[in-house]
Amino acid sequence: MFTIQKEKTNYQAELLRNRLTKRYKHLRKWAKRVGVDAYRLYDRDIPEIPLLIDLYGDAVSGALYERPYEKDQQEEAVWLSIMKHVIAETLELSIDQIFIKERKRLRNRAEGPAQYQKIDSKTVIRQVHEGGLTFQVNLSDYLDTGLFLDHRLSRAYIRNESKGRRVLNLFCYTGSFSVYAASGGASQVDSVDLSNTYLDWAHINFKLNGFASDHIAPEDYVKGPQQRGKNLLIRADVLRFLQEAVKRKLHWDLIVLDPPTFSNSKKMADILDIRRDYKELIDLCLTVLNPQGLLLFSTNARSFHFDSEYFVSTYQRIVIKDITRTTVDEDFRDKKVRLCYTLEK
């Protein structure tokens, strides 16, 4: 049995080596041409090798997806060690530059959004580049690094639409959409998130790109005049922030709504389930969106159905576009990607 398992693992290692060699040869040429040094190399391309592998400059951050069947933990650890050595050798990196975390299935909603929970304290930090901008990523401490690579072209889209506009970035995470908006000449960028950790991270990303940003309490923001500074970081429950913005008759020209699929954070007043709540969130966004304004909505939720007829029947002259395919970059071709829509008044 041991011999059979060893032969199987060695066979899979060779499959991974061949696949990575092919992908890396193709993508590194593309990445150099477009000025990108963080991109996806592999995402469960081979079913029996359930790995995600992203290259961030001189290091890899990725994940081992939980298998749909029981597997001995020690056996899995040996298997993963072999695969990590294949990754290091193929990409000509040292083994200590390979960070693979275990990504488990969400068995119940009480488990919450694991991608935002800290799983280590090594704090392996890199600065990566795309679109002429610089972003800080943490390769070791969270399931996600702080930069969603699949939104690269979505961010570029927002930059192209931002000139002279007031921008609101909801569930802003580490502020990459916000930085793109600022670089596109937005008149102001307001970034809302519940996490101080991620708002501080967004502040760093603004600074790395030469933009000033300031923290402001939500109660101070909604009470005072809207023009308080160019880039404001607001720690708030997004739903409550939008409800208060409606009451205060605040408005923006461009809104980014890229929420988590599910969140039961203790900091939130209510549990968020985007399949159930997306209409309410979009309704609120459209209420605070100026005429000729633009809303970008995106979701990673599985089996998600966007009810465009509801919004067309509710709002006069609204224009809805599915821009999912046009915002999929080279390293995500033929992958299962997030959905992306624009709603324009």
SS3 assignment for 276-329: HHHHHHHHHHHHCEEEEEEEEEEECCCCCCCCHHHHHHHCCCCEEEECCHHHCC
Q: Give the model's pLDDT for residue 147.
A: 98
pLDDT in tens, 223-270: 765 556 689 999 999 999 999 999 999 999 999 999 998 776 545 456
Instruction: Give the Cα separation of 54 and 131 in Å (integer).
Output: 18
Q: Which fold does the domain 2-126 belong to in CATH?
A: Transcription Regulator spoIIAA (3.30.750)
Say if pTM beats, i.e. exceeds, 0.85.
yes
CB 103 within 8 A of CB 63: yes
Between these two residues, 104 and 175, which has the higher pLDDT value? 175
Q: Which fold does the domain 148-344 belong to in CATH?
A: Rossmann fold (3.40.50)
Does the pLDDT at position 26 exceed 90?
yes
pLDDT in tens, 89-104: 999 999 999 999 998 7
Does the pLDDT at position 134 exceed 50?
yes
Domains 2-126 and 148-344 share a fold: no
Confidence class for position 111, pLDDT limits 50, 70, 90: very low
Indicate the domain borders of the chain: 2-126, 148-344
